[in-house]
Protein backbone atom coordinates (compact mmCIF):
# COMPACT_ATOMS: atom_id res chain seq x y z
CA UNK A 1 0.00 0.00 0.00
CA UNK A 2 1.27 3.45 -0.90
CA UNK A 3 0.71 6.14 1.70
CA UNK A 4 -1.38 9.13 0.62
CA UNK A 5 1.10 11.50 2.24
CA UNK A 6 4.66 10.20 2.55
CA UNK A 7 7.76 12.04 3.78
CA UNK A 8 10.54 9.55 4.44
CA UNK A 9 13.49 10.26 6.73
CA UNK A 10 16.46 7.92 7.05
CA UNK A 11 16.95 6.91 10.67
CA UNK A 12 20.75 7.16 10.29
CA UNK A 13 20.42 10.86 9.40
CA UNK A 14 18.49 11.75 12.57
CA UNK A 15 20.68 13.75 14.92
CA UNK A 16 19.84 15.29 18.28
CA UNK A 17 17.20 17.95 17.64
CA UNK A 18 16.60 17.19 13.95
CA UNK A 19 13.76 19.49 12.89
CA UNK A 20 11.43 18.58 10.00
CA UNK A 21 8.27 20.24 8.75
CA UNK A 22 5.99 18.31 6.41
CA UNK A 23 3.18 19.88 4.40
CA UNK A 24 0.64 17.97 2.32
CA UNK A 25 0.07 19.07 -1.28
CA UNK A 26 -3.45 19.67 -2.58
CA UNK A 27 -3.54 16.19 -4.14
CA UNK A 28 -2.28 14.62 -0.91
CA UNK A 29 -4.94 16.51 1.07
CA UNK A 30 -7.65 15.09 -1.22
CA UNK A 31 -6.29 11.57 -0.75
CA UNK A 32 -6.08 11.97 3.04
CA UNK A 33 -9.68 13.26 3.13
CA UNK A 34 -10.83 10.17 1.24
CA UNK A 35 -8.91 7.85 3.56
CA UNK A 36 -10.27 9.45 6.73
CA UNK A 37 -13.83 9.87 5.46
CA UNK A 38 -13.72 13.67 5.63
CA UNK A 39 -15.49 16.04 3.26
CA UNK A 40 -12.18 17.82 2.65
CA UNK A 41 -8.72 18.47 4.03
CA UNK A 42 -7.71 22.02 3.14
CA UNK A 43 -4.38 22.05 4.94
CA UNK A 44 -2.22 19.49 6.72
CA UNK A 45 1.08 20.51 8.28
CA UNK A 46 3.11 18.80 10.93
CA UNK A 47 6.38 19.91 12.51
CA UNK A 48 8.58 17.27 14.10
CA UNK A 49 11.55 17.52 16.44
CA UNK A 50 13.38 14.19 16.27
CA UNK A 51 15.82 12.67 18.76
CA UNK A 52 17.69 9.39 18.31
CA UNK A 53 17.35 6.92 21.18
CA UNK A 54 18.48 3.36 21.83
CA UNK A 55 18.60 0.59 19.18
CA UNK A 56 17.05 2.40 16.22
CA UNK A 57 14.33 4.14 18.23
CA UNK A 58 13.57 7.74 17.30
CA UNK A 59 11.57 9.91 19.69
CA UNK A 60 9.48 12.62 18.03
CA UNK A 61 7.69 15.63 19.45
CA UNK A 62 5.23 17.04 16.99
CA UNK A 63 2.81 19.89 16.36
CA UNK A 64 -0.05 19.10 14.01
CA UNK A 65 -2.13 21.80 12.34
CA UNK A 66 -4.92 21.05 9.89
CA UNK A 67 -8.08 22.57 8.40
CA UNK A 68 -10.75 20.03 7.54
CA UNK A 69 -14.40 19.91 6.51
CA UNK A 70 -16.48 17.60 8.67
CA UNK A 71 -20.18 16.77 8.82
CA UNK A 72 -22.08 17.93 11.90
CA UNK A 73 -23.72 15.06 13.79
CA UNK A 74 -26.63 17.31 14.77
CA UNK A 75 -27.49 19.21 11.58
CA UNK A 76 -25.72 16.99 9.01
CA UNK A 77 -24.25 20.16 7.51
CA UNK A 78 -20.62 20.39 6.41
CA UNK A 79 -18.45 22.83 8.32
CA UNK A 80 -14.78 23.75 8.48
CA UNK A 81 -12.83 22.90 11.61
CA UNK A 82 -9.31 23.68 12.79
CA UNK A 83 -7.42 20.72 14.23
CA UNK A 84 -4.38 21.35 16.39
CA UNK A 85 -2.53 18.74 18.37
CA UNK A 86 0.78 18.54 20.19
CA UNK A 87 2.00 14.98 20.55
CA UNK A 88 4.96 12.75 21.30
CA UNK A 89 5.60 9.35 19.71
CA UNK A 90 8.37 6.79 19.45
CA UNK A 91 9.30 5.33 16.08
CA UNK A 92 10.50 1.78 16.75
CA UNK A 93 11.85 -0.94 14.45
CA UNK A 94 9.01 -3.29 13.44
CA UNK A 95 8.81 -6.26 15.77
CA UNK A 96 10.21 -4.42 18.78
CA UNK A 97 6.95 -2.77 19.89
CA UNK A 98 6.13 -2.96 23.59
CA UNK A 99 3.10 -5.21 24.16
CA UNK A 100 2.44 -3.87 27.67
CA UNK A 101 -0.51 -1.53 28.03
CA UNK A 102 0.75 1.68 29.58
CA UNK A 103 -1.52 4.68 29.12
CA UNK A 104 1.28 7.01 30.25
CA UNK A 105 3.82 5.74 27.70
CA UNK A 106 4.41 7.39 24.33
CA UNK A 107 2.58 5.79 21.41
CA UNK A 108 4.84 3.61 19.30
CA UNK A 109 4.89 3.68 15.51
CA UNK A 110 6.72 0.72 13.99
CA UNK A 111 8.82 1.23 10.86
CA UNK A 112 10.33 -1.23 8.39
CA UNK A 113 13.91 -1.08 7.18
CA UNK A 114 16.04 2.01 7.71
CA UNK A 115 13.51 4.82 7.23
CA UNK A 116 10.48 6.24 8.97
CA UNK A 117 7.59 8.07 7.33
CA UNK A 118 6.72 11.44 8.89
CA UNK A 119 3.86 12.00 6.45
CA UNK A 120 2.12 8.79 7.47
CA UNK A 121 2.71 9.65 11.13
CA UNK A 122 1.06 13.05 10.54
CA UNK A 123 -2.00 11.37 8.99
CA UNK A 124 -2.25 8.96 11.92
CA UNK A 125 -2.05 11.85 14.40
CA UNK A 126 -4.75 13.73 12.45
CA UNK A 127 -7.00 10.67 12.61
CA UNK A 128 -6.50 10.48 16.38
CA UNK A 129 -7.08 14.23 16.87
CA UNK A 130 -10.36 14.45 14.93
CA UNK A 131 -13.49 15.03 16.96
CA UNK A 132 -15.36 11.69 16.84
CA UNK A 133 -18.77 13.42 16.93
CA UNK A 134 -18.16 16.74 15.18
CA UNK A 135 -20.62 19.50 15.93
CA UNK A 136 -20.94 22.68 13.91
CA UNK A 137 -20.68 25.78 16.10
CA UNK A 138 -24.19 26.87 17.04
CA UNK A 139 -25.82 23.54 16.13
CA UNK A 140 -28.54 22.76 18.64
CA UNK A 141 -30.22 19.51 19.55
CA UNK A 142 -34.02 19.46 19.37
CA UNK A 143 -35.67 21.19 22.33
CA UNK A 144 -36.93 17.92 23.81
CA UNK A 145 -35.70 14.42 23.25
CA UNK A 146 -39.29 13.22 23.64
CA UNK A 147 -40.00 14.16 20.03
CA UNK A 148 -37.27 12.09 18.39
CA UNK A 149 -35.53 8.75 18.47
CA UNK A 150 -36.27 5.21 19.52
CA UNK A 151 -37.11 6.10 23.12
CA UNK A 152 -39.69 8.63 21.94
CA UNK A 153 -41.29 5.94 19.79
CA UNK A 154 -41.37 3.57 22.77
CA UNK A 155 -42.92 6.25 24.97
CA UNK A 156 -45.64 6.86 22.36
CA UNK A 157 -46.33 3.10 22.19
CA UNK A 158 -46.56 2.85 25.99
CA UNK A 159 -49.03 5.71 26.05
CA UNK A 160 -51.36 3.83 23.69
CA UNK A 161 -51.90 0.89 26.10
Residue-level pLDDT, tens digit, the chain, 161 residues? 567 999 999 999 999 889 999 999 999 999 999 999 999 999 999 999 999 998 899 999 999 999 999 999 888 999 999 999 999 999 999 888 888 777 777 899 999 999 999 999 999 999 999 999 998 888 887 665 555 566 666 666 676 54
pLDDT at 154: 67
Contact of 132 with 37, CB cutoff 8 Å:
no
pLDDT at 153: 66
Helix count and strand count (H, E) for the chain: 3, 7
Cα–Cα distances (Å) from 94 to 2, 59, 82, 111, in that order, read 18, 15, 33, 5
Contact of 89 with 61, CB cutoff 8 Å:
no
pTM: 0.82
Say which residues have a Cβ less than 8 Å from residue 42's Cβ, sequence separation at least 6: 29, 66, 67, 68, 69, 80
pLDDT at 141: 76
pLDDT at 48: 97
**Which helix (H) or strand (E) is 155 found in, with range?**
helix 149-160
Q: Degrees (nearest 5) of the Cα angle 10, 101, 125?
A: 45
What is the 8-class DSSP label of residue 140? -
pLDDT at 140: 81
Amino acid sequence: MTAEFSRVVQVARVREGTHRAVDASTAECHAVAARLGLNAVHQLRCVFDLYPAEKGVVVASGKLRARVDQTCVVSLEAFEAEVTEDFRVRFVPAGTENDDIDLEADDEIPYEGTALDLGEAAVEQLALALEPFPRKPGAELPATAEDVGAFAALARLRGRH
